[in-house]
Every structure is written in C-alpha cells, then in structure tokens.
Amino acid sequence: MGEGSRRNLQMPDNVVFVSLQLREVARQGFATLEDPFAGLLDMLESCKGWKGKGHSLEYYIADELACWLKEHSREPEFDSNLKKLQARALGVLAESQSDLLEPLISVYQLQKADRNTLLGNVNHLYHNGKYKEAVILCTKLKLQPELDVEKMCTPLLLQDKANLVKDYVADYPHLQSQLLQVLDTWYSVLSLGLQPGQVVGIDMEWRPSFGLVGRPRVSVLQIATKEHVYLLDLLQFSKLDKEEKEKELCHFIWSLFSEPSITKLGYGMSGDLCSLSTTYPALREMEKQAQGILDLLQVDKQVRKEPSSKTKRTRHAEKGLSLLVQNLLGKPLDKREQLSNWEKRPLREEQILYAASDAYCLLEVYEVLCKDPANFGLTANLKECLAGKQSTKPRAEKQLSKQGTQSPSKQVEMLYASAFPEISAKDFSVVCDTMLQGLARYLRCLGVDVHVLENTDDHRKAAEIARKEGRIILTSGLPYQKLQAQVGEGRCFSVNCSDKAKQQALSVLKHFNVRVTLTDIFSRCQVCNCDKYLKISKEKIRHLMKISGCPKSPEEEWELYPKAESPALSETKQFPGCAYNPNCRWLGDSDLNAGSLTLKNGTTLQIRTIPLGVLEKTNLSHFYCCTQCGKVFWEGSHFGRVVSQFQEILEGSEPQSQSFYELN
DNA sequence: CTACTTTAACCCGCAATTAA
DNA sequence: TTAATTGCGGGTTAAAGTAG
C-alpha cells in the first residue's frame, strides 16, 4: 500500500491514466469470463506473494470487479459454490494486505457468510499477530458482538491505533462502556493498583541521540508486573493537555518511585532516571529520594565475580542485561530494537515486544536470583544492594556494605557460638590479610598461629592457604562472601573493621571458642609467628652486646632510655615462673656461629633493640629470642598489659593477679 | 611521651562497561 | 557513536595505633 500511495503522490496524472486504461481492460475481461467470481480468486491466489505494486493492482482489479458487478446487478448465487468462494476469499485475505478487504466483502457478500467461519478466520488472524487486520475484518463484517472487546482492542490500543478501535466500537454503545471500564482499570492499576510489597520491572526507552547536545527525552516507560507489562507512551502524554496530564503523570511516577514497599527492578537505573528527570524537570529530585530500587546491574556484577560460575573468559556475544538473562534463564534477549526510533508513532510491534520483554525479564531474573541467592554468592537479602543510593559517596557506601556483611556474621556468631568445640590458643590457626595486622599481633600475643598474607597476595591465596593448612580465614569484611563460599561455613570470619584490634581479637576468640591460658601469652613471636625461642641469660646478653660493639657509649644510651621499663610492678614482683614458659631451651654456645650474633640457621639476634635500662633490672635474669627472626623479648610490663587486656577470656588467672595487672 | 608503623580515606587518571 | 558511570591501581596524606 505504501508503495502505491507514494506513486500516487509522485505521478498522479500517470496513475489516473493507468487506472482509466485498467478499467477499460478489466471490464472487457470481466465480461468474457464465464465465472468472474472464481476468476478473481484465481488471479489473486496466483498473485500470492507479490509485493509492492502487485498488491495495488490486485486492489484495483478487485475494486473494479465490485463496481462492475454492482452496475450489472450481479450477485453470486447462494449455493454450495458460494461457500467455497467465500472460504477462498477469506484465505486470500489472511495472506494479503488489508486493502483487499472491502472489495472482497462486496464481491463475495462476506457479511452474509457463515458467522462461525468468519469468526474462525478472525481468530486465525489474531493469533498470527495480525491484530489490526482482525479488528478491521470484524468491523466490516459487524462481528463485534461475538467477540471480547478487551481482547480484540488491547493490542491496538497498545499500538496506539485508537482510530481503528473507535470504528470497532462505534455502533455498539455497550462495547464502548465495556472498553471504557477496561481503560479505567488500567489507569487505576497504574495509579493506585500497584500493591505494597509488589515487585515490578522498570525500563525506559528513548531515541538514540548520538552527538546531540541535548539530553534525550524518554519516549516509553515500561512497568512490568507478573501479569502485565504496561507501556506508558510519555510522548503522547505530553502531547495532549500538557499541563494537567503531565502533572498527573509526574505524580504517578513520583509516588511509584518513592514508595519503598514496591520493589522497582531496573538495570542501570540511574541512567534511566537521569533521562527521566530531563524529560520532566519536576522529577529532578526524584533520583535522590527514590526508594525501593534494586538495580540488577549491581547484582550482576557481584554474580559475575563469582568464580564458582566457571569464569571461562569466553567472549560472549551477549552483554549487559542480555548476558545476565542468558546466564540465568538460558536465552539471551533480542536487542535488535534497542537502537530503533522510539519517537516514531505508532511503535512497531517488534518495538513493543522488545520494550515489554526488556522490562519483564527483570522480574524473571529477580525470581531466579531470589530462589537461590547463595548459589550466586549473594546475601539472602538481595536488597542489600537496594537503597538505590549507589551514587552516594563511597564512604557512605562502604559503611553500608560493612553493615551488610556484619549483621549476618553477628547472627551466625549468635547461632553457632556454642557449636565450636573448645580449642586451645596454640592449636588455633588462622590466616588474614595485611589489613588485619593489628589483630594478627594481638592473636599471636595470645599464642594463636596467625599467617599474615603479603600485601600483594590475592584473596584467593587466603582460601588456598586456609584449605591447605586447615586455617580459618579472618577477613575485613568485603571479600567475606566470596571466601566463605570457598572454604565453607564456619571457616571464615568477618572482622568488624571499625573495632579496634583488641576488640577484634576478643570477638574472634569468642566466636571460635578459643581457650587462652597464661602460658599461651607470648608463646609466639608477634613479628614472625614463630613459636620456638631460645632462652638467654642476662650475662650472655651482656656478652653478646659487647662482641657486637653495642652500645658504643653506654652512658649516652642510658640517657636515651631513662625509664624504658618504668612500671615499678615488674620490678617489685616477678611473674610466676609457671606463667610464662614458652617453648624454649637455653641458648648454648653451639647455637651461635662463633664470635657473631648469628644463629646456625642464619638468623641474626636483634640484640641492638634491647634498651640498656632493661639490663639493669635486678629481677630480670634472662631473655628470650625468636629463633626465626631473632627478635629478643623479656618479661617486661608489656606482659602484664596483655594479660590485663584479655583478662576476661583468660583462664586460670587468679583474682589477685587480676588486681595486680589492672594497674597497667 | 615519642618515634615509628599501619590504616584507610582521598585523589587522580586510565580502561572497561554500559546505556539509548 | 557518545556520555556517563564504575572499577582499579597507585600514590599521597592524615589519623590512628603501637611498642618501648
């Protein structure tokens, strides 16, 4: 039809000439035909598939036949033959363009044909997606009373073909009121009918505007529920009644987006909202105030990071939402209409389908994710990524995620606190990253075997070591989900970063039911985690200092450390001998490389780090040195400090010693 | 208290991703 | 295509923590 009318516009004279000639020829032909009724069908059927001008030629011929028949007062005879002819005509109609409809109805008296046959034909058209043709056929044949007006008109209304709908119901007041009711329902569904607690998929389309300075305006807003997908044609809204309709619409959108109990699923929603706010300046503030938004783009990122989904770096043809849909639902989206002209009206059927499925698939994706969040490395509560405040400052966001990971681990703590069998500190081994060095020190202080990762190590290394050495992972929260999934429940603990190291240590020990006794304190080197010491007498230390040439002038050094070990306590009262008894033996002469500070294993004793004042303490008879890093320790006030700090979890500490240590 | 270390926030630019 | 966002790495800095 398009082709024909274009020709008309371009060369009207020519066409008039052609059609005059055609009329002449056609009429001569009709007269010679023995059965013009069958003849036309013969011709039309054999033209099947012709495109362009072929169709308009068919139309002219059919039209001419109708006129000619009228002039000659010829009507088909009512017999079984007519039924066959009508059936053939309907067949032609189902295949060809709709401009043939009127002449064929006239020629074959289709309005008098068998109603059921006609209805069957309408249904056939409808189910093949030829909604427009079906409705036109109904209108011409007056079949409306036999059909459901909502079903017939909905597709056309969605396609913005209101004129056809108007014709359809023109002669039927009761259908009109029925249709109005339907429209009313739609409206109320949109404005009020969205139930609290409901989940909807939201998407928007606009005309791609490359290079143009102005922001795009949104053409279509899709809202998908489980039952229906609504396409709001925003362009139409702004066309009619600018003021009022737009106000109403904005109010509706605003209330939808600010309602926290309606979960709005989107994919890259911030971009959509940005465009929306340029379309309706009244909604500019909405992005900040929007509530109940769940952006599946954020979730998608989390899911994709999951190594469990065998991250083969195969190049996917699909990307974005389509990839997500493919992964979760098995089939990708057809994105062909994405860049089409969303401002052209009417929208093509493909566009409508695309827009609808784009919004609807969000619901299905959400459903799959909700069914088994753990499988995708997500918290049971998908709404962790909710809040929609992704655009806020990273600081706030971090706090949010901290809370997000913290609360579940707290819950776990409560639930499983008693589930861990008691374990002694020296048998408890963990691995953590450098972020938790403070915690590591404390734990080593208390005798826990702590492996600290290098700064450069990936978190995967933590999982690897944890598995290999049977360690428990301590993490600062962020990679908690990931690691937990890799090593299993109860083998990974999320430490609250905002706590101080001591508090962290306490919660770890509590969580894993670790028993710490006085003998555990300092049983492990805080620096290198080694738990083997050598005991060195004070005299030996003095001797070693001498041979190492340190200090060069004892008096000077002495000044520098006037009160290095000031607490009088450690001087007045010796620690109970049993209290500190690390795994060690006395340093023998054979342990040292002659005349040096180097152990057989190459470790250099860090004699120089000993403040001189310490040597003067009368109650101090010996030192300990770590066999691995060479660090030298002694029983100083630090011991008491640690003991007092962990008093509440220490076992076997006497009440009187408590008052003693507390002085620090 | 002091010297020193550790931590995390911040900033910046680059690259990748994503949208219509 | 464009524009916007996001993630990442690296470097700096201020603040906090720690040992003695």
State pLDDT tens for residues A196-254. 677 888 888 888 766 555 567 788 888 888 877 888 877 776 655 556 667 777 777 87
**In chain A, ranges of CATH 3.30.420.10 domains:** 194-308+317-391
User: DSSP characters for A199-226?
Assistant: EEEEEEEE---SS-SSPP-EEEEEEE-S
Q: Does this model's pTM top 0.85? A: no
Hey, is A187 helix, strand or coil?
A: helix
Bridge partners of A311, per DSSP, are none
In this structure, are residues A660 and A573 in contact, taking their beta carbons and an 8 Å threshold?
yes
In whole angstroms, B16 C1' to A490 CA is 36
- A515: phi then psi, degrees, rounded to nearest 5: -95, 125
Hey, is A452 helix, strand or coil?
A: strand
In whole angstroms, B1 C1' to A441 CA is 23
pLDDT value at residue A616: 65
Q: Which CATH number applies to A194-308+317-391?
A: 3.30.420.10
Enumerate residues 6+ apart whose C-beta is below 8 A from A177. Answer: none
Q: What would the pLDDT profile of A269-306 be if each residue is shown by its tens digit?
A: 777 787 787 777 777 777 767 777 777 776 776 665 54
Residue A541, amino acid: I
Class of domain A397-520: alpha beta
For residue A419, which of A510, A496, A520, A516 has the smallest C-alpha distance? A510
Cα atoms found within 13 Å of the Cα of residue A178, Cβ hemisphere only = 18
Instruction: Judge if the beta carbon of A520 is closer than 7 A to nucleic acid strand B.
Output: no
In whole angstroms, C5 C1' to A430 CA is 38
SS3 content of chain A, % helix, strand, coil (to 5): 55, 10, 35
Nearest nucleotide by C1' position to the A275 CA atom: B20
A160 by Cβ neighbours in 10 Å (0-12 / 13-18 / 19+) ranks as: middle
In whole angstroms, B4 C1' to A555 CA is 24
In whole angstroms, B19 C1' to A203 CA is 11
Alpha-carbon distance of A3 to A9, in angstroms, equals: 10
Enumerate residues 6+ apart whose C-beta is below 8 A from A132. Answer: A98, A156, A159, A161, A164
The protein residue nearest C16 (Cα–C1') is A500
For residue A305, CA distances in Å to A93, A314, A479 come to 55, 15, 11
In whole angstroms, C19 C1' to A638 CA is 9
Alpha-carbon distance of A265 to A269, in angstroms, equals: 8
Instruction: Judge if the beta carbon of A442 is closer than 7 A to nucleic acid strand B.
Output: no
Q: What is the mean pLDDT of each run of 10 residues along chain A (664 residues)?
A: 35 45 72 73 61 51 74 69 79 66 77 84 79 81 86 71 78 84 63 68 80 69 82 70 67 78 79 78 74 74 50 50 78 79 81 86 82 57 40 28 31 38 81 73 79 64 72 68 60 66 73 78 75 78 69 35 30 35 70 75 72 65 75 68 66 38 24
pLDDT value at residue A354: 85
On strand B, nucleotides with any atom < 7 Å from a protein CB are 6-10, 17-20
Q: What residue ranges in A364-479 does DSSP mark as E strands?
A: 423-424, 429-432, 449-452, 472-475
Nearest nucleotide by C1' position to the A215 CA atom: C3
pLDDT value at residue A15: 41
Alpha-carbon distance of A304 to A310, in angstroms, equals: 10
**In chain A, ranges of CATH 3.40.50 domains:** 397-520
∠ Cα A183 A185 A189 (to 5°): 120
Residue A544, amino acid: L
Enumerate residues 6+ apart whose C-beta is below 8 A from A61. Answer: A22, A26, A40, A43
Q: Which helix (H) or strand (E) holds A493?
A: strand A492-494
In whole angstroms, C12 C1' to A381 CA is 38
pLDDT value at residue A386: 41
For residue A278, which of A215, A346, A207 has the smallest C-alpha distance? A215
The protein residue nearest B8 (Cα–C1') is A435
Instruction: Judge if the beta carbon of A271 is closer than 7 A to nucleic acid strand B.
Output: yes
pLDDT value at residue A293: 78
